[in-house]
Every structure is written in structure tokens, then in C-alpha cells.
């Protein structure tokens, strides 16, 4: 028997969400207070190249960069630091000791960076290239996108386990006789 469960980490600059899912759907996990949920929380307002990140307009707006040396390399370093902090905190407070594979949902530009900095031992280096905070992206859309990614992995795992059992049974190393 196989539970077919996984974690989905959905990240934007203004939100971090963790889901536990399977072929039947997704359930959002309440994050520990130690998990940074915005780039402002993770970087403490300080970013590379003498840039600062500040939040304007309340909780519904993401941090805005301002200062000197506002270039793509500095922003990428900040995103890398942010994703590293999120990865570490999610693993430490939600995944350590568990055995669920981790998939990633984020903007196209975040995937390579996240996979490079993640030290999560069950990171599949797979996910969905989508902005999880976009208006048209609701839980149902995340579930549909994840099924397309997860189902082939799940079916391969079931196939591999079935094959292992068949090989063990052929060598008298396994049995389907309950008694």
C-alpha cells in the first residue's frame, strides 16, 4: 500500500505557503512562526548592494527595493538568500524526520535558484512554474498542476515497488500469502 503524499512549497516575495498533498488534493499547513513568510521578514530589510526592502501599503503589498546598485545580480542574490532561509526554516520546522518528497511552486525565475540553494534531502527538484499568488491560481489550479507533476512519479514508485516484490517472490524472498 502507498499513501502517495508529498509537500508542495509555494513561494513568492510576499508569501510562503506549505501544502501537504496527494492524488486526492492539497491541504495547507499552518506555518511555524519561525518560518519567514515574506522577503522582508527573511532579509530583515537589508539586501545586497546597499538596497533596502520595505513594505508599503500594508500586508497585501510585497516589499519594494530602493537604494543604490539596483541591478539584476543584486536582486538574484537577495532572492537566493530568501529562498535559502525559507528552505532551511521549512525543513527544520515542518519536514525534518518526515519522509514526504518536496515539490516547489514559484515564479519561473525562482526554480533554478531554489533547487541550487535547497538542502532539503527529499527535494525532488521538480514542481510547477507558476506564480502561486496570481489571481487565477487558486487551490484547485495548484492541485491540477501538481497532479500532472506528481502522478508520473507516484506511478513509477508503485511500478518499482511491484517489480521489487515480484523479484523477491521469485527468489523466495517475499510472499503474498498472509499466513
pLDDT (mean) for 29-48: 87
For position 8, what pLDDT does the model report? Answer: 96
Q: Which of 2-6, 63-67, 135-139, 172-176 has the lowest mean pLDDT?
A: 63-67
* CB 79 within 8 Å of CB 113: yes
C-alpha 131 chain-centroid distance: 12
Instruction: Give residue-wise pLDDT tens across range 3-12.
Output: 689 999 999 9
- Report whether pLDDT(76) > 80: yes
Instruction: Give residue-wise pLDDT tens across range 142-177.
Output: 999 999 998 888 888 788 888 888 888 888 887 888
**Confidence band of 127 (pLDDT split at 50, 70, 90):** very high
Cell numbers 519567514: residue: 36
Mean pLDDT (the chain, rounded): 84
pLDDT (mean) for 26-37: 95
- Distance (Å, whole) CA 112 – CA 98: 24
Amino acid at each position: 500500500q502507498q499513501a502517495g503524499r508529498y509537500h508542495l512549497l509555494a513561494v513568492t516575495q510576499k508569501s510562503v505557503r506549505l501544502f501537504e498533498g496527494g492524488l486526492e488534493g492539497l491541504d495547507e499547513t499552518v506555518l511555524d512562526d519561525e518560518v519567514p513568510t515574506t522577503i522582508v521578514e527573511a532579509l530583515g530589510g537589508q539586501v545586497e548592494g546597499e538596497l533596502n526592502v520595505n513594505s508599503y501599503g500594508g500586508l497585501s503589498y510585497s516589499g519594494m527595493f530602493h537604494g543604490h546598485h539596483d541591478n539584476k545580480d543584486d536582486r538574484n542574490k537577495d532572492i537566493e538568500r530568501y529562498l535559502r532561509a525559507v528552505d532551511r526554516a521549512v525543513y527544520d520546522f515542518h519536514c525534518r524526520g518526515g519522509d514526504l518528497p518536496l515539490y516547489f511552486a514559484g515564479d519561473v525565475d525562482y526554480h533554478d535558484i531554489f533547487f541550487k540553494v535547497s538542502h532539503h534531502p527529499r527535494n525532488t527538484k521538480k514542481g510547477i512554474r507558476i506564480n502561486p499568488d496570481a489571481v487565477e491560481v487558486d487551490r484547485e489550479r495548484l492541485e491540477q498542476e501538481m497532479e500532472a507533476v506528481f502522478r508520473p512519479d507516484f506511478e513509477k514508485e508503485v511500478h518499482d515497488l511491484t517489480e521489487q516484490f515480484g523479484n523477491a517472490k521469485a527468489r523466495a524472498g517475499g510472499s503474498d500469502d498472509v499466513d
